[in-house]
Structure 1
Amino acid sequence: MVEDVRPCKAHEGRLSAAEPGLWQQVVEQLGTAVAVTDPAGRITAVNPAAERLLGRTAAVVHGKDIHDLCHRDPTGARVPREHCPLLRALAEGRPARGDDDRFLRGDGWLVPVSWSASPLTDGDVFQGMAVLFAETTTGHDTRRERAERTERTKRTEQAERAARTNALEGLTERLTLVAAITGVLGQTLEVDEALARLGRLLVPRLADWAAVDLRVGPDQVHRVAVTGPEGRVADQEDWHGHLPPAGNASPSPLARVLNGGDPVLQGPADMGAPLDSPLAAVHSAFLAATGATSALTVPLGAGRQVTGALTLVRTDPARPFGTGDLEMVSDIGRRVGPLIDNARRFGRQRAVAEAMQRNLLSPLPRHGRVQLAARYQPAPAGSQVGGDWYDAFTLRDGALALVIGDVVGHDLTAAAGMAQLHGVLRSLAWDHTGPTGAVVDRLDNALHAITTVPMATLVLARLEGPDNGPWTLHWTSAGHPPPLLLTPDGNAQYLEAGQGLLLGAHTDGTEQRPSAAHALPPGSTLLLYTDGLFEIPGGDLDTGLGRLRRHALALAHEPLDTLCDRLSARMPPGSTDDIALLALRLPVP
């Protein structure tokens, strides 16, 4: 019979070393691990050797089922309870042993052990089992094996983490590229600018060369963009221009894609395939000139809506395109195709609208020795033509009328409104010799009755004086930027008098618009303009007007046409408005 092994409360779960007798002298100091269980297999006590071997403190294991806590098979899986010899011995109250089992440590490692279990009784009452167990290898080998296993596991985990990180970074980079291309190309409706941006995003980030071919007719293909390493042209040849017809029967990669086929991935072996058409020969020559070792050709668009084809080239044999690249570039092609198609459609519509608007602007008259010049420039990108306009005509009394105006809106409706104002104002001003403000008042009163214009700004001016001077300018401004006068003595001033409300402001008509007058010296230059010449969205108007004044003054000595060209070319960056500019220069006696 085993003596009383109940632990003291201070060391619950551990065989007490504070009690005298056999346990203090033997069990506590025993190098072999010992655990005591109750009849149900729950641990009631362990000695320090067991704590060390199991990697768990006595307090942690106390009350735990020894089989569920520790017993595992060589793979680390739980051993079914019905197959556990220790549980069978507990159930039958008999001794048992095992020579090739695995116990699970607290740090997760499996310990190979041999064990021996003996019943504990008090008289005829079965009290549980005393289990002695030991590692089946020496402590030195076990530590070495654990260290090796730990190191192997660390290396494996590090490799898995690196692989997951690389995969995540690659996916993130691909998604970022696709999103960047879609976002950047969506910001412009200019085809050339869209293709230039596409090339800058793809080369060298994804490819060494990129080429874009667009359909320009039923059987016509045009290579519109080629992007390569900075400062380099493929084989010093210009690859832009019309390409041979695609041909429906040709199996060459470019012809297949242009005819609605699937994307194509080419390796070195594929590039040596026989050439079956002039288009295949031109494309093969391009790949050879760039030094291609791998190439992708994907449709721009999808299904029957194929706008063209995108070809990407890599020249490094160690970095060929793969199926993942093909999928990503195909996605780019599906997104880019509609954007380019929209830009081309917008460009055609805008060209028609711009031609219509230019035709609505009257040619400038000849008025003695006075020089006249005008420019109309549509917004640089993203906007349609609008209601900016200018006009100059000789009045019945021989004076010269000058007009600059801006109808609210940036569409064909604004352009049509501009044409209406143009005709009505000419009719009202032609035989009127009184103040310019009276003419603008009459125009304002008739605005909603005989035009579709909701609101507009304008300056109406009269230049009076004989051919050799002196000259006087009379003008009225309906909410429009002030005329700018450049004089031969190097001064530049805005004529800010004569300001009134813009057209369509719905006044009661009882108050007359102001008119102003200013003597113009010989050789002076007068500029009438719309706000697109100086205004930036969100910018300060005074800053914009100051910049225009400096630019105009720097160009005052230039011929009038040169002044207009250079001034309109200095459109502020970020401008989204049209420009109308009317310039007048007086002769020198």
Structure 2
Amino acid sequence: MAGSEQSETRATRRPGAPATPLTDVLEAVRAGAYVVDEQGRVLAMNSRTEKLLDWSPEDLVGHDAHDLLHRDAHGQPLPRTQCSMRQAFHAGRPAQADEDHFARADGSVLPISWLITPLDFTGLENCTLVIFHPRHLEETDTAPAPAATLLPELERLALLAATTTQLTSTLDVDEALRRLVTLVVPRLADWVIIDLITERDEVWRTVVVESDGVSLTRHDELEGPMPPIPEESPMPLSRALRGVASTLAGPQTYQGAPDSGIAVEQRRLFDATGIHSAAIAPIRSTRAVLGALTLGRAAQPGNYNPADLPLIEDIARRAGLALDNARLYQRQRKVAETMQNHLLPQMPRVPGLQMTVRYLPAPDASQVGGDWYDAFRLSDGSTALAVGDVVGHDLEAAAGMAQVRNMLRAYAWALQEPPSAIVDRLDEAVMHITDVAMATLILAKIQEEDAGRWKLTWTNAGHPPPLLISHDGLAEYLTEGHGILLGTGARRPRADATALLPPGSTLVLYTDGLIEEPGHTLDEGLNRLRQHAAALAHRPLASFTDQLLRRVRPQANDDDVALLALRAPARP
């Protein structure tokens, strides 16, 4: 872990390499800051650390921070048993000290104060953030920013760093809001209220949470739709929702005649919660005002003052950037899923056969696109089955998938030929009249033979093999009929294969997202699919399909999955 993160920090990046989120977090801290792993080795440091201690990144990164830096007042190594920072580090809890000492590269000692806190950051586990200040400001060329009254300076910096790391490491709006709540209560308030502006410019009171110092209580009765934002109202929440300014407020603020519906709701909020002091800040992104963050004190003593607003504004601004990213992601994902679902067809009804299909999008919206299934009746009375995967994972791949699927339907209907001949014609067309680079595909025809037996004829263009499971749980892959994928330009003969489906058997056609997993072989994925399919052989087809996806699809899957399952009738 240390090695992978070292290459991603500004202090250890190659010149001209792009910054990373961890880099941005450390460089935003106006103090010395570094991150250590669970063994206490330095993973990353900011340029302020280098300036204060004169240790280069090569000197610090990868080394034990305690052994290299921690000293007593006389410059002697500090025994680990006497180190309060190390004790808190191993306990996984925040801690701070006002008087301590770090060693400079030249052997001199720098008097410091420090704070440590566990770090929650994507790609890092069991890590700790260390922030330190020189105790004598004349030893530095830049004094730290004035401390806000809400928190000491080191705690303020640690809170802002934690806000950035925790909120930017999720693209789920609800999870981002949950993390925001846990960051600010009870540390800054015992009530937190979040009002968000929806995409239709409506205001929704999304979060009202109370903290008793130990647990959080959500007050659903105070949440819900809010009146529209008044254009000229000078009241604090109205100004914040217009992005005008942060403001302090109290019960007396809303005791006069209300100038809008929002003012009425604010009076109700103060009456219901007992908040005696509140600070309200806009939640902004770089593009728009997204809502407002309200911190309130009811049980906590003291009132907010103007010196508290910069910290709350900073938290709200970071929350706005994270929420905007999460909204953009969810919007992109919704567009991709809607497009994919509209492109995928409805299944035909085939007397005597059960058929079900599933499509699962990739976790990342940019990965949606290339996987598809199809089934349709042919002019000779048989039914065509197809599952394929267009190379690429984006909306362009989804468009290419639609081209391939529609051309396949046309060729299969017009050409009363074996599947191999149809796929040959499709391959030639893909090369000349589409932008599809390559694709894999299984095309099959199924038709009823005498005595209620069903015959399957298929050809495989570079796709994972179909799986046939008997009613008694014997599972085998149909590896015959295999040929080269579409779009290579190689003109090689394609083969057809034929099999009779045993009564009550289940046929599974699927895409590689079901079986491929980073760090594992394809054979491992195929064996996992065969094992679970055999165990589920007696399940009703819908349950069989759902359970198969749940059990087999890898947790680390970064691809979409299309699956078509068909069950032959049991013996009469």
Query: By the TM > 0.5 criterion, same fold?
Result: yes
CA drift of 1:419 comes to 0.9
- The within-5 A match list for 1:214-233 is 214-216=196-198, 220-229=202-211, 232-233=216-217
CA drift of 1:384 comes to 5.2
Q: Distance in 1 between matches of 2:377 and 2:507?
A: 17
Aligned twin of 2:539: 558
Aligned twin of 2:283: 300
- Residue 472 of structure 1 aligns to a residue whose secondary structure is strand
Q: 1:189·1:381 contact (CA, 8 Å) conserved in 2?
A: no
> Closer, same or farther in 2 for the Cα pair 1:222/1:445, shift >3 Å?
same
Aligned twin of 2:194: 212
Aligned twin of 2:558: 576
Q: 1:468·1:587 contact (CA, 8 Å) conserved in 2?
A: no
Aligned twin of 1:310: 293
- Cα deviation digits, residues 102-140 of structure 1 (max 9, x gap): xxxxxxxxxxxxxxxxxxxxxxxxxxxxxxxxxxxxxxx
Aligned twin of 1:429: 412
Q: Distance in 2 between matches of 1:413 and 1:547?
A: 31
Aligned twin of 2:369: 386
> Closer, same or farther in 2 for the Cα pair 1:304/1:399, shift >3 Å?
closer
> Closer, same or farther in 2 for the Cα pair 1:516/1:185, shift >3 Å?
farther
Aligned twin of 1:259: 242
Say which one has the larger Rg.
Answer: 1
- Per mean C-alpha deviation after superposition, the further-off stretch among 350-359 and 392-401 is 350-359
> Closer, same or farther in 2 for the Cα pair 1:260/1:392, shift >3 Å?
same
- Residue 562 of structure 2 aligns to a residue whose secondary structure is strand
Aligned twin of 2:508: 527
- Residue 357 of structure 2 aligns to a residue whose secondary structure is strand
Q: Distance in 2 between matches of 1:386 and 1:480?
A: 17
- Residue 222 of structure 2 aligns to a residue whose secondary structure is coil
CA drift of 1:521 comes to 1.1
Q: 1:408·1:454 contact (CA, 8 Å) conserved in 2?
A: yes
Given the alignment of the two structures, is residue 482 of structure 1 paired with residue 465 of structure 2, yes or no?
yes
Aligned twin of 1:242: 225
Residue 479 of structure 1 aligns with an amino acid whose one-letter code is G
Residue 193 of structure 2 aligns with an amino acid whose one-letter code is A
> Closer, same or farther in 2 for the Cα pair 1:188/1:407, shift >3 Å?
farther
CA drift of 1:461 comes to 1.6
> Closer, same or farther in 2 for the Cα pair 1:447/1:158, shift >3 Å?
closer
> Closer, same or farther in 2 for the Cα pair 1:408/1:267, shift >3 Å?
same
CA drift of 1:454 comes to 0.7
Residue 519 of structure 1 aligns with an amino acid whose one-letter code is L
> Closer, same or farther in 2 for the Cα pair 1:316/1:364, shift >3 Å?
same
Given the alignment of the two structures, is residue 359 of structure 1 paired with residue 349 of structure 2, yes or no?
no
- Residue 502 of structure 1 aligns to a residue whose secondary structure is coil
- The within-5 A match list for 1:111-190 is 164-165=113-114, 168=132, 170-190=152-172
Q: 1:189·1:382 contact (CA, 8 Å) conserved in 2?
A: no
Q: Distance in 1 between matches of 2:533 and 2:407?
A: 32
> Closer, same or farther in 2 for the Cα pair 1:219/1:408, shift >3 Å?
closer
Q: Distance in 2 between matches of 1:353 and 1:196?
A: 26
Q: Distance in 1 between matches of 2:364 and 2:498?
A: 38
- Residue 312 of structure 2 aligns to a residue whose secondary structure is helix
Q: Return the TM-score normalized by structure 2.
A: 0.66
- The within-5 A match list for 1:509-524 is 509=491, 511-524=492-505
Count of residues paired in the alignment: 430
CA drift of 1:264 comes to 2.5
Residue 527 of structure 1 aligns with an amino acid whose one-letter code is V
Q: 2:449·2:455 contact (CA, 8 Å) conserved in 1?
A: no
Q: 1:252·1:275 contact (CA, 8 Å) conserved in 2?
A: no
CA drift of 1:290 comes to 4.6
Q: 1:294·1:317 contact (CA, 8 Å) conserved in 2?
A: no
- The within-5 A match list for 1:73-84 is none
Given the alignment of the two structures, is residue 194 of structure 1 paired with residue 176 of structure 2, yes or no?
yes
5+ residue gaps in structure 2? Answer: 1-97, 102-109, 116-130, 134-151
CA drift of 1:402 comes to 0.8
- Cα deviation digits, residues 515-558 of structure 1 (max 9, x gap): 33333211111121223334344554344444444444444333
CA drift of 1:364 comes to 0.8
Q: 1:244·1:278 contact (CA, 8 Å) conserved in 2?
A: yes
Residue 463 of structure 2 aligns with an amino acid whose one-letter code is H
Q: Distance in 2 between matches of 1:363 and 1:504?
A: 27
Q: Return the TM-score normalized by structure 1.
A: 0.64
Q: Distance in 1 between matches of 2:200 and 2:448?
A: 61
- Per mean C-alpha deviation after superposition, the further-off stretch among 541-550 and 225-234 is 225-234
- Aligned-residue sequence identity (percent) comes to 50
> Closer, same or farther in 2 for the Cα pair 1:422/1:297, shift >3 Å?
same
Residue 408 of structure 1 aligns with an amino acid whose one-letter code is V
- Cα deviation digits, residues 133-188 of structure 1 (max 9, x gap): xxxxxxxxxxxxxxxxxxxxxxxx96999995479585454444434443444444
Q: Distance in 2 between matches of 1:180 and 1:159?
A: 23
Q: Distance in 2 between matches of 1:273 and 1:535?
A: 65
CA drift of 1:573 comes to 2.7
Q: 1:383·1:576 contact (CA, 8 Å) conserved in 2?
A: no
- Residue 452 of structure 2 aligns to a residue whose secondary structure is coil
